[in-house]
Amino acid sequence: MPAHENIIAALKKAVIDFKMDDCKDAALKALSHGVDPAFAIMNGLEEGMKRVGVLYDTNEYFVPEVLMSADALYAGLKILRPHMKKESDVSKGTIVIGSVRGDVHDIGKNLVKVMFDTAGWQVHDLGVDVPIEKFVEKQIKVNADILVLSAMMTTTMMEMKKIISKVRSKRPECLIMIGGAPVTCDIAALFGADGFAASAGTVITETLKMIARSNKNKILKYESVI
């Protein structure tokens, strides 16, 4: 097995076995072997946490193991993140991101945040369990181009619908991208979101498509009135 595959496998295993030191060692090894940090994060750390998700769902892991795995993932991310190459220094725009009220899951949200940051967006992270008002106020205050919402539970996901209609009434020009394990493309359409992506790996591509769609709609609207 080529060296970098061993390293990716070691990153994944360290998250699954919630071995923080092993995760740090594998992350440092990834850097010294020239493995692309983004590739290591998504194929090592994220895949490891997805496996932990399955072990949790099958009652082989419980909250303590899951939290220790999350700690190992974050230890690896802390080493790899600073080495991700910023696409450009010119800001692509401003986003506000957060996990909705009642939801403290942040691993997925933080991986999505890393992608926006690396791709050149100015990121305002409101953290987890964020009340609607805070999303509304912040996106107005920083004149956000995009509001990015994360929810990991079917229960908390319903908050997104309320946030979208509130933000629409205040600042219709702010685009809204949503995601998280229970969220689907159909749900995003139902809630009136402008965009959806299934993972951190696809969020930037889907965001650029969302912006292109909204620009096209603006042109169509303009053409219809002239």
- Residues making contact with ligand B12 (CB under 6 A): 46, 49-50, 52-53, 56-57, 63, 66-67, 70, 102-109, 111-112, 148-150, 152-155, 177-182, 197, 199-200, 203
Q: Which residue, 91 or 155, is less far from ligand B12 as judged by CB?
A: 155
**In DSSP terms, which residues pair with 150 in a beta bridge?**
99, 179
Q: Which residue, 32 or 50, is less far from ligand B12 as judged by CB?
A: 50
Task: Kindly state the smallest distance separating residue 179's Cβ from ligand B12, in Å.
Answer: 2
CA distance 211 to 196: 12
Q: Which residue, 10 or 152, is less far from ligand B12 as judged by CB?
A: 152
Task: Kindly state the smallest distance separating residue 52's Cβ from ligand B12, in Å.
Answer: 6
Task: Kindly state the smallest distance separating residue 129's Cβ from ligand B12, in Å.
Answer: 7
Task: Kindly state the smallest distance separating residue 77's Cβ from ligand B12, in Å.
Answer: 11
CA distance 126 to 119: 19
Q: What's the gap between Cα 219 and its chain centre?
A: 30
Task: Kindly state the smallest distance separating residue 215's Cβ from ligand B12, in Å.
Answer: 20
Burial of 57 (0-12, 13-18, 19+ CB in 10 A): exposed
Sheet holding 195-196, edge to edge: 121-125, 93-99, 146-150, 175-179, 195-196
- In sequence order, the 6+-apart residues with CB closer than 8 A to the CB of 121 are 91, 92, 93, 94, 95, 146
Q: Are 100 and 151 in contact (CB under 8 A)?
A: yes
Q: Which residue, 77 or 79, is less far from ligand B12 as judged by CB?
A: 77
Task: Kindly state the smallest distance separating residue 107's Cβ from ligand B12, in Å.
Answer: 4
3-state secondary structure of 98: strand
What are the distances in angstroms from CA 211 to CA 92, 117, 121, 195? 11, 17, 13, 9
Q: Which residue, 76 or 108, is less far from ligand B12 as judged by CB?
A: 108
Q: Which residue, 136 or 148, is less far from ligand B12 as judged by CB?
A: 148
